[in-house]
Structures are given as C-alpha cells and as structure tokens.
Amino acid sequence: MISEKMKELVKNSSTIRAMFEEGKRLSAIYGEENVFDYSLGNPNVEPPETIRKAISDILQEESPNYVHGYMNNSGYEDVREEIAKYINKKNGVNLNFGNIIMTCGAAGGLNIILKTILNPEDEVITFAPFFGEYANYVKNFDGKLVIVESEEKTFQPNIDALEKGITSKTKAIIINSPNNPTGVVYTEESIKRMAETLEKKQKEYGTRIFLISDEPYKEIAYDGVKVPFILNYYKNSFIGYSYSKSLSLPGERIGYIAVNPEVDDFKDVVSSLNVANRILGFVNAPSLFQRVIAKTLGAEVDVNIYKKNRDLLYNHLISLGFECVKPEGAFYLFPKALIENDKKFVEIGKKYNLLMVPGTSFGRPGYVRLSYCISYEKIVKSLDSFTKLAKECNEIINKNQ
C-alpha cells in the first residue's frame, strides 16, 4: 500500500521506535530516575524568560489577525530585516530582509534549499560521521548523498577526501558545525581550505557547487571558541539556521535561511526558495514565533549548563580509558566504543540502564553518540553505570585475547 520509497524508511524507523520503547520498558522496571537516556537531542535547558514575555507582549500589542495570519511565504519583512541587522552587527556583513527566508526550523530550510538546487542524480557531499537525516533530505529530491570521511583524530573535515569526492555531478556540500554527532567546531583553517577546494573544483568542472551550512548548534559553543561565519568564506553559500537549540524551542519549528548576497543567480535562487517553502507544504514559518524571534534577538540559553555537563561526562569517560575528541560545541560526545561492535556495545549499555545511539546511525561504526542535554544530577547518577560498562567491556576484551 505504501510507496516504494517509504517502505525502506518505515523499516528503519522501527529501530528508532524500538529504542524509545526500550527506554519506556526500563523506566517501568527501574523508575524513570534510574534510566540514563543519552539518546535524544531534546534540550533540557530552559528557554530564556524573555520568550514568555515576548509572547505575552505580542498578544497584548498586536492584532491577532496580523500575528496569526498569512504573510509572504518567506516571512514577515520586518522580522527578516531585524534578523539581517542582527547578523550584520555580529559578523560585519551587509544583509537585508531579501537575504533571509524564515523556515520551519533548519530541517525545513535544508529541504527548500535542496528542492531549489537538485536535479535527479545530482550529488551532495557530506562528512562522516553525519546527521542521518541528510540522506533522507537528499533522497526527497532524488539526489545522491556522497559520504566522505572526516579526519580520523580530530573529526575536522578531510579536505583531501572532499577533493577526491567532488565530481561533475556534485551540486552541493552540507556541513554541520558545531557538529552532530561529534560536537566538533570546524576551524577557520578548515573552512578556508574547503572554500578554496570548492572554488577550484567549480572552475575545473565549469559547475556551481553550493555550500550549505546546517547551524542549529551555532550558539552552543564553549571555551570562547569562534564558529566561523560561512558567508564570509565562500560565495555560493547558504546558512540553514534554527532557534531549536539556541532558545530551546525545538518543537516550535522556527529558523531561517541566510542566502549569501553574492550567490550566483541570486534573484532566481531567492524566488525559488520562496516558492519551495509554499509548495512543499510549509507555506510559511509559524507566524507567532517569527514575531517572538524579532523581539528576542540576542537572547540565548545558558550554555554553561551544557558545558558543565560536558566536562563532567567527558572527564569521567577519559578516566575510564575512552578515546574521545573533546567537543567544543553542541551537546554531544562521540567516543569510540570500548569494543569494536558499536551495536553490541549499545546493547551492553542497556544492562546498566544506559541508552546510547550507535555510531552506525551516523555513518561511523565503532563509535557511540551520547546526548548530554539532560540534568547534571542525572549525569552524576549515571557515572557508575559507565564504570560498570567499561569493566564488562574490559573483561570481554581480556577474554578474547
């Protein structure tokens, strides 16, 4: 009954559901407080208080037909202008409302970008490990996701691998920094080399290659690390931004696309994004939250809460002998599993009420992702489980030697 394309996807989705059901099962037996769910990227830090106030003010001050009504498919012009100004101030650029399209989160943004640029069989490159949804988004428009590796020790993009991966059919590359699942922030050096490579390959093939920067974690960065502003480094670039994490509003589906003013065929590209937003069924980003964003620019969740979580969990894992790149952003750790088979490692974790996602789901077997966007107290309580997990793994390794 269901379409051929969906059959495979429905089969895969049952794995996710199985994990979710496992969490419920364990909670029922041991109590929710004793189950350590590191599997979900659902922020636990509260949205800034300004959000509630902004909603209340808007409902008092503005006409409900305006606040909840239709607008241009790209969003309210005044909201887009405010966002452009904010970006300009932060990054020394010169955008205006015409560069901003309000979207249903970054997921909506990425889909309307891909709808705009992809013909069937076009190739889109991303670096493994990567957010698994990219494969689905590219398939939505009959493109092919081409996976190239990150640097082994740092999870920075491997530029040589990128260069080898580009063909005459390469239409775009998707990057994600701070990264899900590694938490790594791409350095300015990485971005510069990437841009040079793309420019070179564009010339070599006489094609256009778009750089799509998926930035839901842009604001979640620690230790004063700088996250490069992509539009400054490469002409044919888009930012797909989301307020899901910076304001802890993932359910509200609010974000934007920033289009580089120097993108080739700017006018057609922007018109197409506007139309794609409409015909894919988004129509427009949710209206009330567009207006909330304009009123709360600069507000951010307290990133130190995540940083404290990172330090606690990272230090404990290292003390147990885990290999792990110390992440500078997002709220994920991506350590090497203590045994080779990441799926088996995840299974063993469940014995100690630990829920983790195997690296295989991100195109990098042998690792696991831990989402530490849970309470500090829960992490403290979970440390003993990691110790036990490490002990069991060491016993397995010793037995096999």
Q: Does 276 bind its own copies (CB under 8 A)?
A: yes
Distance between CA atoms of residues 369 and 25, nearest Å: 21
Q: Does 318 bind its own copies (CB under 8 A)?
A: no
Q: Does 384 bind its own copies (CB under 8 A)?
A: no
DSSP 8-state symbol, 374? S
Among 271, 304, 315, 319, binds its own copies (CB under 8 A): 271
* Cβ 188 to its own copies shortest distance, Å: 28
* Cβ 16 to its own copies shortest distance, Å: 9
Q: Of 55-63, 91-99, 227-235, 305-313, which part binds its own copies (CB under 8 A)?
A: 55-63
User: How many chain residues are in contact with its own copies, going by CB under 8 A?
Assistant: 75
Q: Of 78-86, 130-138, 211-219, 304-312, which part binds its own copies (CB under 8 A)?
A: 130-138
Distance between CA atoms of residues 325 and 72, nearest Å: 44
Q: Which is nearer to its own copies, 71 or 93 (CB)?
A: 71
Residues paired with 257 in a beta bridge = 101, 240
Q: How far apart are the first and last CA of the chain?
A: 51
Q: Does 354 bind its own copies (CB under 8 A)?
A: no
Task: Kindly report the number of other CB atoms within 10 A of residue 15's CB atom.
Answer: 12
Q: Does 377 bind its own copies (CB under 8 A)?
A: no
Q: Which is nearer to its own copies, 158 or 170 (CB)?
A: 170
Q: Does 250 bind its own copies (CB under 8 A)?
A: yes
Among 28, 69, 154, 347, binds its own copies (CB under 8 A): 69
Q: Does 59 bind its own copies (CB under 8 A)?
A: yes
Cβ pair 211, 360 in contact under 8 A? no
Distance between CA atoms of residues 113 and 276, nearest Å: 8
Per-residue string for binding with its own copies, 18-47, x by CB under 8 A? ----------------------xxxxxxxx
* Cβ 171 to its own copies shortest distance, Å: 9
Q: Does 272 bind its own copies (CB under 8 A)?
A: yes
**C-alpha Rg value of the chain to the nearest Å:** 22
DSSP element (H, E) containing 287: helix 287-295
Nearest-CA neighbor of 363 among 146, 174, 217?
146
Cβ pair 305, 371 in contact under 8 A? no
Among 36, 229, 289, 345, binds its own copies (CB under 8 A): 289
Q: Does 121 bind its own copies (CB under 8 A)?
A: no
Q: Of 53-61, 310-318, 335-343, 347-355, which part binds its own copies (CB under 8 A)?
A: 53-61
Cβ pair 114, 144 in contact under 8 A? no
Q: Does 259 bind its own copies (CB under 8 A)?
A: no
Q: Does 144 bind its own copies (CB under 8 A)?
A: no
Distance between alpha carbon 84 and the CA centroid of its chain, in Å?
22
Q: Does 268 bind its own copies (CB under 8 A)?
A: yes
User: How distant, in Å, are the alpha carbons of 4, 15, 129, 349, 394 from that of 12?
Assistant: 14, 6, 18, 21, 31
Q: Does 305 bind its own copies (CB under 8 A)?
A: no
Distance between CA atoms of residues 193 and 19, nearest Å: 39
Distance between CA atoms of residues 106 and 79, nearest Å: 17
Q: Does 375 bind its own copies (CB under 8 A)?
A: no
Cβ pair 235, 254 in contact under 8 A? no
Q: Which is nearer to its own copies, 250 or 366 (CB)?
A: 250
